[in-house]
Amino acid sequence: MIWGIIIFIILMNIFSSEPGYIIGTLLIGFLLWIWFGTGYRVEDGLINIRFGPFRSKVSIKEIKTISKTRNPFSAPALSTNRLEILYGKYDMLNISPKNENDFIKLLLSENPHIKIDIPSNHN
């Protein structure tokens, strides 16, 4: 979807008589920042999350459940194949690490009490 928006803005600026170059360029820059600036790092008992200009942290000790989801709504994830992480009292996060199984194993190594709610044929 991000790449579709970028291509649409470029084509709109090429074929339009309206000069929207500044706004279009800023929007393309922002979308590219999200695309290339999304990632997750596990360190010091935390998942450090980058999503373009946005940053957040989740304590691994507070994670209660990890399950698979295809929730398309806004999240620091570039794929619709996501892991839904329930943590804290009522907090939820959707992420899409490149290697879900290794990511889950890493989280379990720091918090073996995490409940994994993923059918066995997905592991």
Question: Which whole number is the average pLDDT over 97-111?
Answer: 94
In a domain, 47, yes or no: no
β-pairing verdict for 82-87 and 46-51: unpaired
- The pTM of this model reads 0.73
Domains: count for the chain: 1
In a domain, 2, yes or no: no
Q: What is the pLDDT of residue 20?
A: 66
Domain housing 64: 60-122
Q: CATH number for the domain including 99?
A: 3.30.720
> At residue 110, does pLDDT exceed 90?
yes
Q: Which long-range contacts (CB under 8 A, 24 or more apart) does 32-39 make?
A: 32/6, 34/2, 35/2, 35/3, 35/78, 38/76, 38/77, 38/78
pLDDT digits (tens, 9 = 90+) for 33-91: 988 999 999 999 999 999 989 999 999 999 999 999 887 776 778 787 899 999 999 99
In a domain, 75, yes or no: yes
pLDDT digits (tens, 9 = 90+) for 8-39: 777 777 777 666 677 777 888 888 898 899 99
In a domain, 112, yes or no: yes
In a domain, 26, yes or no: no
